[in-house]
Structure formats: C-alpha cells, structure tokens
Amino acid sequence: MRLLFIGPPGAGKGTQAGKVAARLGIPHVSTGEMFRDHVARDTDLGKQVKAIMEAGDYVPDEVTVAMLSERISQPDAEGGYILDGFPRTEAQVAALDDLLGDQGLDRVVVFDVDEDELVDRLLARGRADDTEETIRARFGIYQEQTQPLLDIYGERGLNVFVNGLGEVEEVSDRILLVLT
Ligand code: AMP
C-alpha cells in the first residue's frame, strides 16, 4: 500500500506514520528525517542541505526528488510505504506522478485536527517555542501550503480524513480502520 500522510505541525503525523508503517510492515519514508540523517552523518548531501534546513527553507526539488526516488526504489519499499513530508508542493506532486506512473498512491491520510484543540494540546506540552501565536501561525502556513495538495488528491478520490487528536494507539487504530 502506497500512502501519504498529511497533517499540521504538532499533530503527531510523524509518530503515527512510524507506528502505522510498523503495523503494516512497510517503511516510513520521511524526507525531513532522511535529510537530518544526512546532516548528522555529514555526507555530501548533508553538507549540501545543512544551511538550507537551518534557514527553514525547502531543499531544491531536484535534490529532494532524487533522494526520494532512490529510497522508494529499494527492495523494502516494493510492497508499499508511507510518505511523510513529501510531496509538499504541486511541483512535487507532479514529480511523484512521474515516478509512480499510473500505479500512484493508494490513499492520502489527512490529519483532521481542530485548530483550538491543537493549540490547547501543544500549550499543555509546555515547550518554549510553542506560544498560542506561533502555533496559530504555523497552522495557518500549513493550511495555505497544503490546501492545493488536498484539492489535487481530493479530485482523485484519495483523501481519507482521520481525527488526529487522542492517545497515540487510539489514533493508529483509527487510521488502520479507515485503510481497510
Ligand atoms: P520536516 O521534518 O518534514 O519538517 O523537514 C525538515 C526540513 O527538511 C524542511 O524544513 C526542509 O528544509 C527539508 N525538507 C523535508 N521535506 C522536504 C520536501 N518535500 N521538499 C523540500 N524540502 C524538504
């Protein structure tokens, strides 16, 4: 099963992608984690992307798409994978379409999170960079950037919406339920 997880920052998307991937026996493919790993190992790719990531910018598509393409062509990805953090733009959707041909994604799992509940939850976590203002700003940016992707995949009938708030296991169960 080829899946894409889309959700706002702080909604537990990465955690869920990991849990659900383990339960389905398929790899969790997070471009952000892959880049962080390259930076940590100080590889050529890591050297190339470090400053970009520190500035909070997007890595150029040619670099991101090449890395992603190589990853999903590995034997462990033959039976499917969960994409997390890619695609993020319409250009990346087109690049993924080129890579996957007509056997594209099976489902797009969209974390449907109420903004006020997300604010309450993140404030309760008590991290210094989580103020109501920064949380709402991140949420707004996410909505702006993600809406075009939701529209594209929605037209293809791929979107499934899952309430992303709750206990970790409970949310994983919900996701698995909508996938079967
Ligand atoms: P994330 O953990 O998904 O927030 O990703 C961390 C950083 O990696 C981002 O701020 C970007 O610099 C880079 N990155 C991850 N995924 C992508 C992507 N699909 N396109 C471009 N840059 C990305």
Q: Are 139 and 115 in contact (CB under 8 A)?
A: yes
Return all residues near 87 (Cβ < 8 A) that are at least 6 apart. 4, 93, 95, 96, 149
Predicted confidence pLDDT, tens digits, the chain (180 residues): 999 999 998 899 999 999 999 999 999 999 999 999 999 999 999 999 999 999 989 999 999 999 999 999 999 999 999 999 999 999 999 999 999 986 699 999 999 999 999 999 899 988 888 899 999 999 999 999 999 999 999 999 999 999 998 899 999 999 999 998
Burial 56-72 (b: 16+ CB within 10 A, else e): eeebebeebbebbeebb
- CA of residue 59 to ligand 1 center, whole Å: 7
- Answer whether 85 contacts ligand 1 (Cβ < 6 A): yes
- Answer whether 53 contacts ligand 1 (Cβ < 6 A): yes
Domain ranges for the chain: 2-29+80-179
- CA of residue 34 to ligand 1 center, whole Å: 9
- CA of residue 108 to ligand 1 center, whole Å: 18
**CA distances from residue 147 to 71, 103, 111 in whole angstroms, order as listed:** 26, 23, 13
**Can you give the pTM of this predicted structure?**
0.94
- CA of residue 30 to ligand 1 center, whole Å: 9
- Answer whether 56 contacts ligand 1 (Cβ < 6 A): yes
CATH for the stretch 2-29+80-179: 3.40.50.300
Return all residues near 76 (Cβ < 8 A) that are at least 6 apart. 27
Query: From the alpha carbon of 32, which atom of ligand 1 is closest?
Result: 5
Residue with tokens 């087109």: 94
Considering all CA atoms of the chain, what is the largest pairwise distance in Å, rounded to the nearest integer? 45
